[in-house]
Amino acid sequence: MEDIILRVRNISKHYPGVRALDNVSFEVRRGEVHAICGENGAGKSTLIKILTGAIQPTSGSIEFNGKTYEKLTPRQAMELGISVIYQEFSLVPYLTIAENIFYGREIKKGIIRDLKGMEEKAKALCQDMGIELDVNKRVCDLGVAYQQIVEILKAVSRNTEFIIMDEPTAPLTIKETEVFFRIIEKLKKENVTIIFISHRLEEVFELCDRATVFCDGKYIVTKDVKDLNRRQLISYMVGRELSDDYPVPHRELGETVMEVRNLTNKNVKDVSFEIKRGEILGFGGLVGAGRTELARALYGADPIQKGKITFHGQAYHPKTPRTGLNAGIGLIPEDRKAQGVVLSRPIRENIVYSILKRITRLSFINKKKEQQYVDKYIKEMNIKTPSPEQLVQNLSGGNQQKVVLAKAMATDCDILIFDEPTRGIDVGAKQEIYGLMCRLVEEGKSIIMISSEMSELLGMSDRIIVMSNGHIAGELSKDEYSQARVLEMASS
């Protein structure tokens, strides 16, 4: 007889105008890695929040370890042994790694926190998981990838029997992902049950035993992964056939629009390159290679110590992001929540945020112009929302990313910098983003694309520049592309 740890029975969650989950039922076996797949807005995040007690279902019940609950509270979920690793970090930035791992359940000697004891246990946990980290380092001094690893350690340290992982590898490059895979294998051997949510479908096939698919808040199917192929899984997720191929823009590259010579600051060393009109220039490398820091310097978000930049034949001196925008450079940042959108404001305000001067006269916004921009980009980006007044924080991750893209698109910049453009985005939305990028370069725009997803980097770029330790390690043309070459350069 199968050992079922979780049964979800007829769970629904309704919001005004939206059915986030609609009569969903499925089962999870003890000790398996069970994928939950679906496009953004399919209901995956809503399910996680219900299972962890963050929100209450409108109807239905949850059976966990043989006991039935109409709803859970966060404390109940924790006491039952349910842990979750969210896309958004729940770390305390100015505490150390060790303090974050044991936050809320600190080791004590009497009434005093035992910092040394926590550090020793954190070091032992890192060693056990094969991770090299200085546990005395503050979390705010870590990159995004290592913060995610701390989140994983935090969950593992609770000796939980049921872990929900929501896009756990989204900020990780190949090297960090390998560490994560080792953690998963170790947990499986210890009979820990894992619900695994990832838009990287290759991870579903590599790690998971079974997959449950949602579409538009409805349960579609549960299948053994060994009985699925990629095309079938995508078809279940989006309700239609999608090509695995990357689209090819129909255009010829034009003149050089930007030339960078010997750009240097505290994170980037002596970087030189050029980009042509209509080109998608890819930047590859490992976490900490300096790609994001280079993008921020070009945009004016980080200071430049020395070097020369020519843009449209004129000297360009980026001092602030406003300098970059005024010159015709747009940035879609890596961290959309902290830097890309204002979560507490509606979609409408976010889309026009960077073009207020264009739609304002005598300090008053032209509402007709504003509405034209908002309607245009909601439609073009296929943002799933009941209204332009919907707060961005209430959108799914993929739709939040589309708002970031819409805001950048509205500026009509000549060069767009896409920093991890499809991180945390489902396969259907990825195809939309790739199609958008192709349309942009066909219109004569130029794109700098930073990506840690190797297939994306190889599939979408006209050229690839590989960075390592803040400098350029090499450049590859299309006929030289290979994953091995990129990794070799990135590790140099």
pLDDT tens for each residue of the chain, 492 residues long: 579 999 999 999 987 767 889 999 999 999 999 999 987 678 888 999 999 999 999 999 999 999 999 999 998 998 898 988 876 677 888 999 999 999 888 888 888 888 899 999 999 888 877 778 899 999 888 877 678 788 888 888 877 889 999 877 766 666 667 777 888 888 888 889 999 998 778 889 999 999 999 988 899 999 999 999 888 887 888 765 555 578 888 999 999 999 999 999 999 999 999 999 999 999 998 777 899 999 999 999 999 999 999 999 999 999 998 899 889 999 988 777 777 788 889 999 898 888 888 888 888 888 888 888 899 989 888 888 888 999 988 887 778 888 888 888 888 889 999 998 887 677 777 888 898 899 999 999 999 999 988 888 999 999 999 998 899 999 999 999 988 788 788 876
Structural domain that includes position 180:
4-238
- 317 plus 459 within the same structural domain: yes
- 215 plus 324 within the same structural domain: no
Query: Both tokens of residue 367?
Result: 């509402």
- 231 plus 265 within the same structural domain: no
**Does residue 65 form part of some domain?**
yes
**Does residue 98 form part of some domain?**
yes
- 144 plus 262 within the same structural domain: no
**Does residue 343 form part of some domain?**
no
**Does residue 301 form part of some domain?**
yes
- 450 plus 310 within the same structural domain: yes
- 263 plus 304 within the same structural domain: yes
- 80 plus 163 within the same structural domain: yes
How many domains is the chain built from?
2
Q: What is the CATH number of the domain that holds 216?
A: 3.40.50.300
- 284 plus 142 within the same structural domain: no
- 305 plus 156 within the same structural domain: no
- 268 plus 317 within the same structural domain: yes
**Does residue 19 form part of some domain?**
yes
Last residue of a domain, one of 193, 211, 238: 238
**Does residue 363 form part of some domain?**
no
Last residue of a domain, one of 238, 265, 296: 238
**Does residue 37 form part of some domain?**
yes
Last residue of a domain, one of 173, 207, 238: 238
- 231 plus 109 within the same structural domain: yes
**Does residue 380 form part of some domain?**
no
- 91 plus 215 within the same structural domain: yes
